[in-house]
């Protein structure tokens, strides 16, 4: 999500007007067959959709939006979450399809294939670089926002959650039925289930319960043949692939059945900040030895941001935490393990798990907030932003932290978010799911947001992100340098799906998936050999043998 606060996702583009994200690729599939106009494409698609669904065109047309439809712009903009990709110059889809049922999704896949348009899939629109709704080739968008059912089974402690639901809706539906069950996913309530879950997914219970994908039981998806598959029908390889390998490479994920997790009746949250003058360098340095190794019930996110205080530029380090327990216990724990934080009980607030989700969404008075706010999707709301990611496997020396702070002061705006691993994360094998970074100490998110629409500002802020990313090279993972799929970043490589598709895909694929990339490619080649499901960072097929 692209707001002024950092967030976890991301369940999943580029901006053609400005040159800051060059080189941009074209998706080198066969060009769409010549038609007199986009209206011909629309008419052909609509007829096919009507035939496949056995629905009159007058009825099925209600879910198909061409560029001449009065509602087209509002439907397109509703789930654009990065204002960089919401301009008159941003490429627009020829058609947007908003399915109401599984049969609509199947038909949309089958009817799009002969037209050879790029087929983008959007669930919540939080792909940081816009790959779910941007292309530099003629494209359609399959927008899943209507497929938002969340069915919670308290007796079985499970839930079926549809791809177009938001995390906030999932949390609310669980809260309606239980105050002692939760789900380990992201902290941004408007993130879509489809991208977040298929890309790995994590939140502030990651140290206690691992990734979101570690709690999958079943799934439903539509494959390239338009067939609806569950886990048994798709087989374990494909189920593994969509459990962190990104759903958009293999088909259209319709939803997941997940195992819910137990949460205590009372949890504790706190937010404590320090400036450089009051010991921030020492605190951040020490945090690296504590955050990933402390009690797995404690998640301490570290926010690092350049600020100005009394006309002096400095860096603010803020710990934002969730403890699955009482305030007295976490205060006692950190008195011993991280005295540099100087946590006191008055810094802490006890509340329910659901209220903590509200608090993490920057709702300070979470205990007094209407729980239904998580049902608000905040449509057509976005700011400008850029994200990147890294992983740290050995602690950064104190001098390194100090030099990092000075570099951030020099750059002026870009911030960092450190998310600790350890705990349950380190107990699960790197190949259990496509996500390969489980043994890292912590993940870094690079985060910069701005509100003004300005090419000059955009170039400057994107450059800050690149400069800081380069500066961090010696402190982060290597061979390959790791990256997190849900913090989408086209700077690390894009794919034009031509003759060099595999080589291009391997560049970003190794960074996102490590050794698991090879298995993902084999599965992709088996289930979608024609590479219909593709985007600028999708899993490529194996190169064809001469």
Whether the predicted pLDDT of 4 surpasses 60: no
Q: What span, in angstroms and rounded, lies between the C-alpha atoms of 533 and 434?
A: 18
Whether the predicted pLDDT of 21 surpasses 50: no
Q: Name the catalytic one among 354, 487, 502, 512.
A: 487
**R_g over Cα of the chain:** 23
**What is the predicted pLDDT for the residue at 38?**
72
Partners of 256 in the β-ladder: 161, 219
Whether the predicted pLDDT of 43 surpasses 70: yes
- Render pLDDT for 156-209 as a digit per residue (tens, 0 to 9): 999 999 999 999 999 999 999 999 999 999 999 999 999 999 999 999 999 999
Whether the predicted pLDDT of 334 surpasses 70: yes
Q: What is the mean pLDDT of the chain?
A: 93
256 is known as an active-site residue = no
**What is the predicted pLDDT for the residue at 37?**
67
Distances (CA, A) of 36 to 411, 439, 509: 51, 55, 38
Decide: 266 and 329 in contact? Cβ < 8 Å.
no
Q: What span, in angstroms and rounded, lies between the C-alpha atoms of 426 and 434?
A: 15
Nearest 5°: phi and psi at 188? -95, 115
Decide: 330 and 356 in contact? Cβ < 8 Å.
no
Distances (CA, A) of 223 to 161, 251, 253, 524, 534: 19, 5, 9, 11, 13
**Mean pLDDT lowest among 18-27, 179-188, 399-408:** 18-27
Q: CB under 8 Å to 343, separation ≥6 — which residues?
A: 270, 272, 330, 331, 334, 335
Task: For residues 19-33, give the mean pLDDT.
Answer: 40
Task: For residues 64-90, give the mean pLDDT.
Answer: 95
Whether the predicted pLDDT of 11 surpasses 80: no
Cα maximum dimension of the chain: 73
Whether the predicted pLDDT of 108 surpasses 90: yes
**What is the predicted pLDDT for the residue at 232?**
98
Task: Please report where in the chains the tokens 């629309």 appear, as a residue.
Answer: 42
Q: What span, in angstroms and rounded, lies between the C-alpha atoms of 474 and 454?
A: 33
**What is the predicted pLDDT for the residue at 111?**
98
Whether the predicted pLDDT of 7 surpasses 60: no
pTM: 0.93
Q: Is 106 exposed, middle or buried (0-12, 13-18, 19+ CB in 10 A)?
A: buried
Q: What span, in angstroms and rounded, lies between the C-alpha atoms of 74 and 143?
A: 13
Q: Which residue has the higher pLDDT, 220 or 2?
A: 220
Q: What span, in angstroms and rounded, lies between the C-alpha atoms of 203 and 211?
A: 8
State what percent of residues in the chain have pLDDT above 70. Answer: 93
């Amino acid at each position: 999500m692209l707001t002024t606060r950092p967030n976890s996702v991301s369940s999943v583009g580029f901006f053609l007007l400005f040159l800051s994200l060059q080189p941009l690729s074209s998706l080198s599939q066969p060009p769409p067959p010549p038609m007199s106009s986009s209206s011909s494409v629309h008419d052909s698609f609509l007829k096919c959709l009507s035939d496949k669904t056995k629905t009159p065109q007058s009825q099925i047309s209600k879910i198909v939006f061409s560029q001449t439809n009065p509602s087209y712009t509002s439907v397109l903009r509703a789930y654009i979450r990065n204002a960089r990709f919401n301009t008159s110059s941003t490429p627009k889809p020829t058609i947007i399809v908003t399915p109401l049922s599984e049969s609509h999704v199947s038909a949309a896949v089958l009817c799009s294939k002969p037209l050879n348009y790029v087929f983008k899939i959007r669930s919540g629109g939080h792909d940081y670089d816009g790959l779910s709704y941007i292309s530099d080739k003629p494209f359609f968008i399959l927008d899943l926002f209507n497929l938002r059912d969340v069915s919670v089974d308290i007796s079985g402690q499970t839930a079926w959650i549809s791809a177009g639901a938001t995390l906030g809706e999932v949390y609310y539906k669980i809260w309606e039925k239980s105050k002692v069950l939760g789900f380990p996913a992201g902290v941004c309530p408007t993130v879509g289930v489809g991208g977040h879950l298929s890309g790995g997914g994590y939140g502030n219970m990651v140290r206690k319960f691992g990734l979101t994908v570690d709690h999958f039981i079943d799934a439903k998806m539509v494959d390239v043949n338009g067939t609806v598959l569950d886990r048994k029908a798709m087989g374990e390889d494909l189920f593994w692939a969509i459990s962190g390998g990104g759903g958009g490479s293999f088909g259209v994920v319709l939803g997941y059945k997940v195992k819910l997790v137990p949460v205590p009746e009372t949890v504790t949250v706190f937010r404590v900040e320090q400036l450089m003058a009051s010991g921030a360098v020492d605190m951040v340095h020490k945090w690296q030895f504590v955050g990933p190794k402390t009690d797995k019930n404690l998640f301490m996110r570290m926010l690092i941001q350049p600020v100005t205080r009394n006309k002096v530029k400095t860096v603010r380090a803020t710990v934002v935490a969730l403890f699955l327990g009482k305030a007295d216990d976490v205060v006692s724990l950190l008195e011993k393990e991280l005295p540099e934080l100087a946590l006191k009980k008055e810094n802490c607030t006890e509340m329910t798990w659901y209220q903590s989700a509200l608090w993490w969404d920057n709702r300070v008075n979470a205990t007094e907030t209407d729980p239904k706010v998580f049902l608000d999707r905040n449509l057509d709301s976005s700011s400008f932003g850029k994200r990147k990611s890294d992983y740290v496997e050995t602690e950064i020396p104190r001098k390194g932290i100090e030099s990092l702070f000075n570099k951030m002061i020099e750059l002026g705006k870009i911030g960092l978010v450190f998310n600790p691993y350890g705990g349950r994360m380190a107990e699960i094998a790197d190949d259990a799911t496509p996500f390969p970074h489980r043994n890292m100490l912590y993940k870094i998110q690079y985060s910069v947001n701005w509100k003004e629409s300005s090419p000059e500002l955009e170039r400057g802020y994107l450059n800050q992100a690149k400069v800081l990313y380069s500066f961090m090279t010696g402190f982060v993972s290597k061979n390959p340098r790791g990256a997190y799929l849900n913090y989408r970043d086209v700077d690390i490589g894009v794919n034009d799906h031509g003759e060099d598709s595999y080589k291009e895909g391997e560049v970003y694929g190794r960074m996102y998936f490590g050794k698991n990339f090879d298995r993902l490619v084999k599965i992709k080649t088996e289930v979608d050999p024609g590479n219909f499901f593709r985007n600028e960072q999708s899993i490529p097929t194996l190169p064809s043998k001469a």
